[in-house]
Amino acid sequence: MNPTESLNPHELRAEVARLQEEVKMRDQLVQQLSQELFRLVKGNANPTSNAAPSSQYQEQMQLLRQQLAEVEKQVEFYQTQIAERDRELVQQRQAAQELTDRARMLEQVVQELPEVYKQKFAERLKPIQERVEALQRENRQLHAELQSVSYRLAKRTRRETGNLDLPSFEPSDEQASLPSFTN
């Protein structure tokens, strides 16, 4: 895992600013070395210089070239790091935007869920309600038919016997006793 992956965007910006400051300082150092090199080269162009300063000049030139090469390597390294951090920052911003969009979508879905469930429940309930209504109609119809048949049967029985079809009680010698609530 890259150490910059654990940094938040604010820390990444601070790190990028620090690296840019270092690159700026290195650029100033390169500028100073270039000026010094130019001054030395221009100073060696004088025909009055002798062989001793020439060897000293060569040593200084070599040293300055080495320092310049090191500074250029460091500048390149820091520029690479800055570019990498910029890419990571862009990726993190994209990821944050995607997560924000997904959160909004999920929030919308959650808000729509009660209506969706209500609609689905109504769709499932409709055939059941229709079946209950059909059974109730059939029950009323059967009840009406039963009453009609009972009425016709009672009418026929009354015509045949001339009496109403009432329950009969057998005569008994016992006296009817009423229940009492005492012991």
- Residue 122 pLDDT: 93
- Percentage of the chain beyond pLDDT 90 is 40
Give the residue numbers spanning the domain of 24.
Answer: 3-110
Residue 37 counted as domain residue: yes
* Pair 15, 7: CB distance under 8 Å: yes
Burial, 15: exposed, middle or buried (Cβ in 10 Å; 0-12, 13-18, 19+)? middle
Q: Is residue 140 part of a domain?
A: no
- pLDDT computed for residue 165 by the predictor: 52
Pick from 83, 75, 71, 72: nearest CA to 15: 83
Look up residue 158 and give its amino acid: R
Confirm whether 119 is domain-assigned.
no
| Residue 95: inside a domain | yes
> What was the pLDDT predicted at 27?
86
> In the chain, how many domains are there?
1
The pLDDT value recorded for residue 40 is 77
167 in a structural domain: no
Residues lower than pLDDT 50 in the chain? 49, 51
119: tokens are 């609609």
pLDDT at 155: 85
- Residue 2's pLDDT is 59
Q: What is the largest CA-CA distance in the chain?
A: 169
How many of the other CB atoms lie within 10 Å of CB of 34?
Answer: 12
Per the domain annotation, does 181 fall within a domain?
A: no
In a domain, 43, yes or no: yes
| Secondary structure (3-state) at 178 | coil
Structural domain includes residue 118: no
Please name which of 97, 74, 83, 75 lies closest in space to residue 12, comparing C-alpha atoms: 83
What tokens does 65 get? 């070239």
- Which residues 6+ apart lie within 8 Å of 88 measured at CB? 2, 4, 5, 12
Look up the pTM and report it: 0.39
pLDDT at 63: 87
Q: Are 21 and 81 in contact (CB under 8 A)?
A: no
CA 131 to chain centre: 42
Q: Report the pLDDT value the prediction gives residue 57, as an integer from 0 to 100.
A: 80
